[in-house]
Amino acid sequence: MEKPISQRVRYTRRTFLQIAAVAGTAGAVCGWTFIPHDARAHVVREVRTLMGTQISLIVCGPDRDACYNGIEKTLDRMEQIEGFLSRFMDGSDLSRLNSSGVIDHPGMDLREVLSLAADISGLTEGAFDVTVLPLLQLYQSKQPVNTSAFQKALELVGYHRVVSSSEQIRFSKPGMGITLDGIGKGYIVDQGVATLQAAGFSNIYVEAGGDLMVSGQKPGRRPWRIGVRNPRPEHPGKMVAIETNRSLAVATSGDYMQYFSKDMRHHHILDPRTGISPPELASATVTAPSVAKADALATAAMVMGPERSMDILASLPDCEALLIGKDLRQYRTTGFQA
């Protein structure tokens, strides 16, 4: 049911910028001065908490109520998908799969995400793998990791052991588990954008914890400008910003987002093949046709390092990247515009 306008969350421009700065771990839109295209244009901004993070939406259209209705439908759709893909929600498709190792008649959203994940896993030679959950849980337990437990968890990793069809998804090895942290949020943003576009909106911005997509233009027929976060803010440098007048998906993966040691050598991004955090990059920002693809490729790039990532990304149409090493050296694909 649609929420009355009086119950919607309201934010001042300053508050909204503060939230975007915190939530936008991959980037934040710069220069929020919204000037209508003409007297009939309306800009509606909304911020909600979903998936454990802040969801930010901006919609520009000729009718204010239509903008609000479009946002409500979008948030409803995003919340619905979370109910399928979250590993933390009891009763979700993914939660039931992780619990029992098999699920019959899985929903379309879970099947689509796992299909895309398998494609990226094959493309990146296993650098991206949603079955790293046993390893991730081992590190997150905050208990000393012994060799036996580590080896047992590593043996449970392998995307090729997920058997999926429209009738059933199952693990071929007991004890396996899936995390969609590196692709699920991007997929939900994609579906949010699709919902708004189906409602007739073309000038939009949808962001979830830094994974985002923009479409059309900002009010005033100006390009969207997306800032890329410095992974080491204690070493300030010139800000990198992406400017675009077209639909663009952007996602960043970084060692600073969740780390297990103060020097960030050990963090939540694990090489599925070795079980340890990759040593070269501090962050990877990828632009792609979809946020889910950008999200997964950014995670894979962190694992592969700059040289192999550049080779693979160069072979993918409409995919570009900015990689930042732990020494803050930058690596860019030839088409990365900033």
266-304 confidence digits (pLDDT tens): 889 999 999 999 999 999 999 999 999 999 999 999 999
pLDDT band at 262 (very low <50, low <70, confident <90, very high): confident
CA dihedral 97, 100, 105, 107 (to 10 degrees): -20
* Cα distance between residue 120 and residue 115, in whole Å: 9
* 46-55, 63-72, 217-226 — most confident range: 63-72
Number of domains in the chain: 1
Domain carrying residue 145: 1-280
Q: Kindly state whether residue 307 falls inside one of the protein's structural domains.
A: no
Q: Kindly state whether residue 297 falls inside one of the protein's structural domains.
A: no
pLDDT band at 40 (very low <50, low <70, confident <90, very high): low
Q: Kindly state whether residue 159 falls inside one of the protein's structural domains.
A: yes
Q: Kindly state whether residue 220 falls inside one of the protein's structural domains.
A: yes
The CATH number of whichever domain residue 105 belongs to comes to 3.10.520.10
Q: Kindly state whether residue 312 falls inside one of the protein's structural domains.
A: no
Sorted by sequence, the CB contacts under 8 Å of residue 74 that are 6+ apart come out as 57, 192, 195, 196, 199, 206
Q: Kindly state whether residue 296 falls inside one of the protein's structural domains.
A: no
Q: For 172-220, what is each residue's pLDDT tens digit?
A: 999 999 999 999 999 999 999 999 999 999 999 999 988 999 999 887 7
Q: Kindly state whether residue 119 falls inside one of the protein's structural domains.
A: yes
pTM: 0.86
Q: Kindly state whether residue 241 falls inside one of the protein's structural domains.
A: yes
- Give the β-pairing of 53-61 and 102-104: unpaired
